[in-house]
Amino acid sequence: MILNDILDSINEAKEIIAVTHVSPDGDGIGCITALYKAMKKLDKDISIFIDDVVPDIYKFMPYTDKITKPINKRADLLIAVDCADAERMGSAKELLRVVPKSINIDHHVSNTLYANMNYVDTNAASSAEIVYQLIKILGIDLDQEIAESLYVGVVTDTGNFMYSSTTSFTHEVAGDLINNGVSVSKISDIIFHNIKYSKLKLISRAIDKMELYFNKKVAYMELKKEDFIETGTEISDVENIINFGRDIDGVEVAVMLIEKDGLIKGSLRSKNYVDVNKIAQKFNGGGHVRASGFSKNSSINEVKNEVLELIKNELNE
């Protein structure tokens, strides 16, 4: 049984590495920082890696100062969290070759089962829910730091409990985390009610350039390199801007395309019936039925035309 193998591997390991994906979000960061404290409670030597920078908005979280860029180092066990495939790990994917045992903890339907042991629950609203269960099964007592990290993971990946992936179990987990010291108002204020003026200018640009297609069922937005330079923002500031398109009355699918490091990074969101994971997979991306992403080495106009055509086919327009 996979879970027993995972528990045995964690208990037997002395040195552990935990990683999450590039363009890190609250779920990935929350999971590896929670694992950092949890593994310390088991007297493990643990390193936490991200092949990217931690967005400023998440630097209030415990142990984010312990996150470093990946290095090839000796370890008994690698734990990859919230990474649908090895490529999402960035340079940390090389650790899959050098570390003898690996665990893949994730909730994306597009997960490629790339590790020795794969603990993938596509019914979970966040990877933090899965890590929460693992910590409980290991018999590790929750404390305020672990609870806060996991709560950030839950609340960000469920859109503050508004996404359709939210379940009654999600609320049970959140309740237990709150009982272990989480300040809901503090985290809500930092994550959802704390917009930098520069990001507000970026949001304004995205909305100004928004276009509606196919009987106003699709909202399209794009941000180019100059938009970030002129507003003094970073790629991480894009998080959740796509929801302005998704939330428009009558819109079923929202699309956001971003120029990043010579690539076009695409984000897709849907409300009720379009499977955006299916669309993202056409670009070798993926994620969830209602929220997915991809990257492509192409021009923004070419990707725009391709993705709109795919969405049109799904809408039967």
CATH topology of domain 198-315: Diaminopimelate Epimerase; Chain A, domain 1 (3.10.310)
Topology match between the domains 2-192 and 198-315: no
Task: Give residue 179's pLDDT.
Answer: 99
Secondary structure of the chain: what % helix, strand, coil (to 5)? Answer: 45, 20, 35
Reported as half-sphere exposure (CB side, CA atoms, 13 A), residue 82 has a value of: 28
239, 25 Cβ separation under 8 angstroms: yes
pTM assigned to the model: 0.91
19, 70 Cβ separation under 8 angstroms: yes
Task: Give residue 154's pLDDT.
Answer: 99
- Average pLDDT along the chain: 96
Q: Is the pLDDT of residue 267 over 80?
A: yes
What CATH number was assigned to the domain covering residues 2-192?
3.90.1640.10
Task: Give residue 317's pLDDT.
Answer: 59
Give the DSSP per-residue string, 87-125: GGGGGGGGHHHHSSEEEEEE--TT----SSEEEE-TT-S
Cα distance between residue 83 and residue 106, in whole Å: 6
Task: Give residue 25's pLDDT.
Answer: 96
Q: Is the pLDDT of residue 83 over 80?
A: yes
Sign of the C-alpha dihedral computed for residues 84, 89, 95 and 101 taken in this order: negative
CA 214 to chain centre: 29
Q: What is the pLDDT of residues 133-160, one digit of tens each?
A: 999 999 999 999 999 999 999 999 999 9
Tell me which amino acid residue 282 is: K
